[in-house]
Amino acid sequence: MKTDNLQKLRADRIWLTEDSCDIDDFRAQAERTTSLADYPNAASVEKNVLIYDSRKVRASIAEVDGKRTILAEICEAFADGPGVVVFAGAYEDTDVIDRASAIFENIIAEQHRSSTGGGDHFAKAGANDRIWNSLEKHCLADPENFAEYYGNPIIALASQAWLGPSYQMTAQVNRVNPGGAAQSAHRDYHLGFQSSEVIQQFPAHVHKLSPVLTLQGAVAHCDMPLESGPTLFLPHSQAYVPGYLALKRPEFRAYFDENHVQLPLRKGDVVFFNPALFHAAGTNRSADIKRVANLLQVSSAFGRAMETVDRQRMSATLFPALKKLKNKLSPSETVNAIAACAEGYSFPTNLDRDPPVGGMAPKTQAQLMSEALAAGWSHAAFEQALSDLAEKKLS
Ligand SMILES: [Fe+2]
């Protein structure tokens, strides 16, 4: 092979461009059929999307072997399967959801009163209401409800299945009011939030890396019939590697408009999807449904989350609530709540002041919180230890 051919082929492999996106290659991926037989723990396949019965999942993950089996199954559903999974009835007790909804309503009302809350990158002013960083605001407003809400085993299961341990939870509430328009088809963070000009500067392996750095989820806070506009998905579209660039081309957008699917959700259902899946929120054509979802964006321990979260302040607030709920939450629910709140990864840190002890990685906020709970520390002692840990990490 001539050298110039070799170099051209190599450059085409590494530098993906809008022009190199091919709709037939894309269709070969997006037109695959999800087979229920490949996912023995799933209850059904609807419109090419996998549906799990959360009660059955909860029973299976109580066994160690059952948990590893389901983690593997869900991981592949996100990677090579449809890329989107609905966990029906993820919240058995929807009172937990209702109490969270009341907290969110108060926050939205306060944002209106004080004209704060910022904008929305997708919607016109007034068509919807957003609570950015609902994670921290929820925790500070009602740490007991936060503990029950994020103690949920399905949220932890899906996060762990895709990202492994030490993930970083973030969340935003989106309330789409009647008449609120659909979003345009997109992929999510990281590369999904960049222009083609920027995306084209990253080599092909980073296009494959971006989807494994986050997981997208949504907790349904109300029943969402189709007319209320639940999210539009294109199953299997996450598998098309140049998809971040393809979405800028009209034939791909047209394909999404003609072929997307939409599933009604019930209050307490949770949907999780690969951030590279083509998707968009739907139009709310209902007369009176304010469609409320808490959107979870879970980041890998190794990625940079999109939002800043004051996890020290959250941990200090959550600690006494977890002590109070000791007999109400199971040990694994407590672990899940801590994982959604505290920093679960050791780095970055200042290795002069925070050297590795008894291993390669210094202690994390989450480890500190678990130890303090187990040892029955006072709130004041825990706050002091949190502050000492934060101090050690400063350069
Ligand atoms: Fe999105």
Inform me whether the pLDDT recorded for 75 exceeds 80. Answer: yes
What phi and psi values does residue 288 have, to the nearest 5 degrees?
-145, 15
CA dist., res. 231 & res. 265, Å (int):
10
CA dist., res. 69 & res. 57, Å (int):
11
Alpha helices in 142-249 (DSSP H): 143-150, 153-163, 196-199, 204-209, 243-246
Q: Measured in angstroms, how far is the CA atom of residue 348 from the centroid of ligand 1? A: 28
Inform me whether the pLDDT recorded for 124 exceeds 80. Answer: no
Q: Measured in angstroms, how far is the CA atom of residue 332 from the centroid of ligand 1? A: 30
Q: Measured in angstroms, how far is the CA atom of residue 26 from the centroid of ligand 1? A: 20
Q: Measured in angstroms, how far is the CA atom of residue 141 from the centroid of ligand 1? A: 26
Q: Measured in angstroms, how far is the CA atom of residue 175 from the centroid of ligand 1? A: 14
Read off the pLDDT of residues 163-179 as tens digits, 9 standing for 90 and up.
Answer: 999 999 999 999 999 99
Omega cis (within 30) before 348: yes
Domains of the chain: 13-299 (2.60.120.620), 311-393 (no CATH)
Tell me the helix, strand and coil percentages in the chain, rounded to 5.
Answer: 45, 15, 40
Q: Measured in angstroms, how far is the CA atom of residue 266 from the centroid of ligand 1? A: 20
Read off the pLDDT of residues 279-322 as tens digits, 9 standing for 90 and up.
Answer: 999 999 999 999 999 999 999 999 999 999 999 999 999 999 99
Q: Measured in angstroms, how far is the CA atom of residue 373 from the centroid of ligand 1? A: 36
DSSP string, 196-214: HHHHTTS-HHHHHHGGGGE
Q: What is the mean pLDDT of residues 156-160?
A: 98
What is the band of 362 on the pLDDT scale with cuts at 50, 70, 90? confident
Average pLDDT in the chain: 95
Read off the pLDDT of residues 201-223 as tens digits, 9 standing for 90 and up.
Answer: 999 999 999 999 999 999 999 99
Q: What is the mean pLDDT of residues 8-21?
A: 96
